[in-house]
């Protein structure tokens, strides 16, 4: 295992440990809101939080930040756990839920009320927003700011008991309406939401806000380093204020790092959900999606995603990472580890006229040409084979390293063949090539070669009677432009969807050794790219997804 490179967060932890802070403990957490599937941006946070816990012998918690009953669903809770485990991480202790702390958080709110640090505001939401001010204008105190502790307690209990409708009352922290930091202008801590919650059912009709819940959940769990993205930097003073004024034994601290942004895609759950809900993709796990389940179905490996995140590093500088870097990470991994196979994407029949009708010869090929320990595979050569349409031309110059009428190529791991004649259908399209093979060329070059020139090249092939029919799905980037969300007036990110991002080939043929392959098995189809067996694939219908081509191919 490679030692993770240092970064500014690890340096902070090293310093804390050297100073004996937190009794030498390192406890982090990954806190997704269950309102969508995890995407590649979350992978950065997962690798950071779990990676730190692993290398410091600490613990990383998985906590669902589930304070918003409207947008959350059980499906997301299940998928998020599956994706974290798929990446190869295990959280310490049980799966946690912020909603599991609702009773405790309610008590913390009462503490603030008792200290005169929170009050119930019964102004309308519009009045509250208006009096909050903005960057140029300080806020104004609410007329309800001076309510007595008793009155606030009674009103807060009434909120809890359902005595207010949504928008009629909120609990606010009593901090400073003139603060330059708007987050400190008496932020809302609790609001009324008469909605059932996926974990707590109908027990609550008031729900704590994220900014109240998050620091106190961290404190309850004994989180030492609470790592979040830069947009929460302005919330840190409120984080610290709450941890300080509520009676908690732990002292978590928040540190911010830059989000991962990738070009040619979107990394926002809201937009990804829109793509799913409006049918622009087939689902959250569509192989074009930057979700972890989409990347998985596409054929990405956990190791490639972890390696990608590790190489990115962690900083406080915002940047946009090129999609090709993510693609390279899986290409490198699969180049080393994926078994090789032959698959013909656009079949054209080649008839070897001097090959006996019923003869099948089993040829040997390495599973991986650079790794003998992966063994060999057997491929049947028969009188009729398929080659790719792209691998034949009636005429071509010397740069074309494939089969040309009257010239020769090697059928990879087999014999040298010469194209003698083409057969056309009524429309004039070539439907067969008739050729002859040289029986003395298995594993060696043709003898008596005078005047014939060099072989043009080596092409892949699959036995026509014994090959397995399959479907191949070729994926491309989901957006045509690098920054689909940076759009002009009246434009929408959906205007930049790449309509050609999925091409389905229904008549492909793969070598017979792949019979019965299980979903998620990955291959290099020689000369074509890296492919993964789709989750919908079965014995009656083999389906492969192209993960990436053999080399970078964007822009086209
Ligand atoms: P989105 O904007 O997609 O809704 P989010 O930040 O609201 O993302 P959460 O479920 O709250 O999603 O995210 C869980 C954790 O993952 C948070 O700590 C968040 O900071 C982190 N995270 C989310 N997106 C990214 C990203 N693009 N890069 C790095 N970390 C991210
Ligand atoms: Mg969030
Ligand atoms: Mg969000």
Nearest-angstrom CA–CA distance, 298 and 287: 5
- Look at the block and give the residue holding tokens 């081509």: 549
**Tens digit of each residue's pLDDT (9 = 90 or more) over 180-212:** 999 999 999 999 999 999 999 999 999 999 999
Q: Is 62 in the pocket of ligand 1 (CB under 6 A)?
A: no
Nearest-angstrom CA–CA distance, 182 and 312: 33
Higher pLDDT, 483 or 453: 483
Query: How far away, in angstroms, is 494 Cα from ligand 1 center?
Result: 22
Tokens of 398: 């010397």
The ipTM assigned to this model is 0.96
pLDDT at 501 over 90: yes
| Predicted pLDDT of residue 174 | 98
| Predicted pLDDT of residue 390 | 97
Q: Is 45 in the pocket of ligand 1 (CB under 6 A)?
A: yes
Q: Which of 28, 45, 233, 309 to mutate to test the pocket of ligand 1 (most atoms within 8 A of CB)?
A: 45
Higher pLDDT, 465 or 69: 465
Q: Is 34 in the pocket of ligand 1 (CB under 6 A)?
A: no
Tally of CB atoms within 10 A around 187: 19
pLDDT at 552 over 80: no
Give domain limits for the chain: 8-261, 269-337+470-548, 341-466
| Predicted pLDDT of residue 445 | 85
Q: Is 33 known to be catalytic?
A: yes
Q: Which of 229, 230, 273, 309 to mutate to test the pocket of ligand 1 (most atoms within 8 A of CB)?
A: 229
From the CA of 269, which ligand is nearest? 1
Tally of CB atoms within 10 A around 245: 16
Q: Is 33 in the pocket of ligand 1 (CB under 6 A)?
A: yes
CATH fold label, 341-466: Ribosomal Protein L25; Chain P (2.40.240)
Mean pLDDT of the chain: 96
Q: Is 63 in the pocket of ligand 1 (CB under 6 A)?
A: no
Q: Which of 32, 64, 71 to mutate to test the pocket of ligand 1 (most atoms within 8 A of CB)?
A: 32
| Predicted pLDDT of residue 451 | 55
Q: Is 485 in the pocket of ligand 1 (CB under 6 A)?
A: no
| Predicted pLDDT of residue 473 | 98
Q: Is 29 in the pocket of ligand 1 (CB under 6 A)?
A: no
448 backbone dihedrals φ, ψ, rounded to 5°:
50, 50
Tabulate helix, strand, coil % of the chain (nearest 5).
Answer: 30, 25, 45
Residues 6+ apart with CB under 8 A from 493: 266, 271, 479, 484, 485, 487
User: 341-466: same fold as 269-337+470-548?
Assistant: yes
Strand ranges for 164-222 from DSSP E: 170-173, 188-192, 206-208
Output the CA–CA distances (angstroms, integers) from residue 298 to 255, 342, 475, 502, in the order listed.
33, 19, 8, 12
Q: Is 414 in the pocket of ligand 1 (CB under 6 A)?
A: no
Higher pLDDT, 520 or 313: 520
Angle at 314 between CA 294 and CA 475, to 5 degrees: 20
* CATH of span 8-261: 3.40.50.620
Catalytic residue among 71, 193, 259, 349: 259
β-strand 188-192 against 206-208: which pairing, if any?
antiparallel
pLDDT-derived band at 487 (thresholds 50, 70, 90) equals confident
Tally of CB atoms within 10 A around 540: 5
**Tens digit of each residue's pLDDT (9 = 90 or more) over 21-77:** 999 999 999 999 999 999 999 999 999 999 999 999 999 999 999 999 888 889 999
Which numbered atom of ligand 1 lies nearest the CA of 261?
27
Q: DSSP labels for 433-454?
A: EEEEEETT-TTS--SS-TTS--
Q: Are 56 and 14 in contact, with CB atoms under 8 Å apart?
A: no
Q: Which of 42, 91, 271, 308 to mutate to test the pocket of ligand 1 (most atoms within 8 A of CB)?
A: 42
Strand ranges for 16-99 from DSSP E: 27-30, 59-64, 96-97
Q: Choose the weakest-confidence range: 5-14, 74-83, 418-427.
A: 5-14
Which numbered atom of ligand 1 lies nearest the CA of 32?
10
pLDDT-derived band at 533 (thresholds 50, 70, 90) equals very high
Query: How far away, in angstroms, is 549 Cα from ligand 1 center?
Result: 30
| Predicted pLDDT of residue 5 | 75
Tally of CB atoms within 10 A around 485: 15
Q: Are 293 and 79 in contact, with CB atoms under 8 Å apart?
A: yes
- Nearest protein Cα to ligand 1, atom 9: 32
| Predicted pLDDT of residue 454 | 82
| Predicted pLDDT of residue 72 | 81
| Predicted pLDDT of residue 1 | 42
Angle at 374 between CA 370 and CA 377, to 5 degrees: 100
Tokens of 416: 């040298």
- Nearest protein Cα to ligand 1, atom 14: 32
Q: Is 269 known to be catalytic?
A: yes
From the CA of 64, which ligand is nearest? 1
**Tens digit of each residue's pLDDT (9 = 90 or more) over 373-386:** 999 999 999 999 99
Query: How far away, in angstroms, is 184 Cα from ligand 1 center?
Result: 23
pLDDT-derived band at 539 (thresholds 50, 70, 90) equals confident
Architecture of the 269-337+470-548 domain = Beta Barrel (2.40)
Q: Is 256 known to be catalytic?
A: no
**DSSP category for residue 229:** E
pLDDT at 328 over 50: yes
Tokens of 519: 């979903």
| Predicted pLDDT of residue 489 | 84
Q: Are 386 and 509 in contact, with CB atoms under 8 Å apart?
A: yes
Q: Are 530 and 547 in contact, with CB atoms under 8 Å apart?
A: yes
- Look at the block and give the residue holding tokens 């320990």: 373
Question: Roughly how many angstroms between the first and final C-alpha of the chain, as a whole number?
Answer: 37
């Amino acid at each position: 295992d490679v030692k993770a490179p240092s970064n500014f967060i690890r340096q902070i932890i090293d310093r804390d440990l050297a100073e004996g802070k937190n009794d030498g403990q390192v406890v982090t957490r990954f806190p997704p809101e269950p309102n969508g599937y995890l995407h590649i941006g979350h992978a950065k946070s997962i690798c950071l939080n779990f990676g730190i816990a692993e290398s410091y012998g600490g613990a990383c918690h998985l906590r669902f930040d589930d304070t918003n009953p409207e947008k959350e669903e059980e499906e997301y809770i299940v998928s998020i756990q599956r994706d974290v485990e798929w990446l190869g991480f295990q959280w310490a202790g049980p799966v946690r839920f912020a909603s599991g702390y609702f009773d405790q958080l309610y008590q913390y709110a009462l503490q603030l009320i008792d200290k005169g640090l929170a009050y119930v505001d019964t102004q309308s939401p519009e009045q509250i927003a208006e009096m909050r001010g903005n960057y140029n204008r300080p806020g104004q105190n609410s007329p309800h700011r001076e309510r007595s502790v008793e009155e606030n307690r009674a009103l807060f209990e009434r909120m809890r008991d359902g005595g207010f409708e949504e928008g009629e009352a909120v609990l606010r922290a009593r901090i400073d309406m003139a603060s330059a930091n708007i987050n400190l202008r008496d932020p809302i801590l609790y609001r009324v939401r008469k909605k059932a919650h996926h974990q707590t059912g109908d027990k609550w009709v008031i729900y704590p806000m994220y900014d109240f819940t998050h620091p106190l959940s961290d404190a309850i769990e004994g989180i030492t380093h609470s790592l979040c993205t830069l947009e929460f930097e302005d919330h840190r003073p409120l984080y610290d204020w709450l941890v300080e004024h509520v009676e908690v034994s732990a002292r978590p601290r928040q540190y911010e790092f830059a989000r991962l942004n990738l070009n040619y895609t979107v990394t926002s759950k809201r937009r990804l959900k829109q793509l799913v809900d409006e049918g622009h993709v087939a689902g959250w796990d569509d192989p074009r999606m930057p979700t972890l389940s989409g990347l998985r179905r596409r054929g990405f490996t956990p190791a490639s995603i972890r390696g990608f995140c590790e190489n990115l590093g962690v900083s406080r500088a915002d940047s946009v990472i090129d999609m090709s870097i993510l693609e390279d990470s899986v290409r490198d991994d699969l180049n080393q580890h994926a078994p090789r196979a032959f698959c013909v994407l656009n079949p054209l029949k080649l008839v070897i006229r001097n090959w006996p009708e019923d003869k099948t010869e089993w040829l040997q090929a390495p599973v991986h040409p650079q790794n003998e320990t992966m063994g060999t595979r057997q491929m049947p050569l028969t009188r009729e084979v398929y080659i790719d349409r792209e691998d034949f031309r009636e005429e071509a110059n010397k740069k074309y390293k494939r089969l040309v009428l009257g010239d020769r190529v090697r059928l990879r791991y087999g014999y040298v063949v010469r194209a003698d004649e083409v057969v056309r259908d009524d429309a004039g399209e070539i439907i067969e090539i008739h050729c002859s093979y040289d029986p003395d060329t298995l594993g060696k070059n043709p003898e008596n070669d005078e005047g014939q020139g060099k072989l043009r090249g080596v092409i892949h092939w699959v036995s026509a009677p014994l090959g397995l029919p399959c479907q191949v799905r070729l994926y491309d980037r989901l957006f045509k432009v690098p920054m689909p969300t940076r759009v002009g007036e009246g434009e929408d990110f959906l205007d930049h969807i790449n309509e050609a991002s999925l091409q389905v080939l229904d008549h492909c043929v793969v070598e017979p050794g792949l019979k019965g392959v299980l979903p998620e098995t990955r291959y290099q189809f020689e000369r074509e790219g890296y492919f993964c067996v789709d989750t919908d694939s079965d014995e009656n219908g083999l389906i492969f997804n192209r993960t990436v081509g053999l080399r970078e191919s964007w822009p086209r």
